[in-house]
Amino acid sequence: MATRSDTPVLDTLAAMTVDSIERCGLDERTFILTRLAALAAMDAPAISYLAHVDPAVKADLTAEQLQDVLVAIAPVVGTARVMSAATHITEALGITIALAEAEAEAMAEAEAQSRSKP
């Protein structure tokens, strides 16, 4: 029997993602672009895109490539879904930037405090 966790849903999603990556033969860039297209097609919320920001950055994907994916799927999924996806991607990037800024501020404060101690 599986052990209990405080985050069973997140643990399950993480395990599914790892399994998907291990079983998929796509290169890293194509894998992320495909997942982003799927998120757009299903009108996923910004939080779903948030999990893909870091892998997209690590795969050296550009904003133009993300836009190209939205252009490519627009005739299939429709204008409303593409515009929604663009908004959600922007929100996810904003959340990522805000988190990075908060982390940088916390690190700077901790460093300043350690310097001010005699």
Please, which pLDDT band fits residue 29 given cuts at 50, 70 and 90?
A: very high
Q: Report the percent of the chain where pLDDT is more than 90.
A: 47
Please, which pLDDT band fits residue 36 given cuts at 50, 70 and 90?
A: very high
Task: Output the six-digit token pair for 96.
Answer: 């990522």
The mean pLDDT value for 89-115 works out to 88
- The answer on pLDDT for 70 being more than 90 is yes
Instruction: Report residue 12: phi and psi, to 5°.
Output: -65, -45
Task: Output the six-digit token pair for 82.
Answer: 């593409």
Q: What is the pLDDT of residues 39-61, one digit of tens each?
A: 999 999 998 998 888 889 899 99
105 neighbors 117 (Cβ within 8 angstroms): no
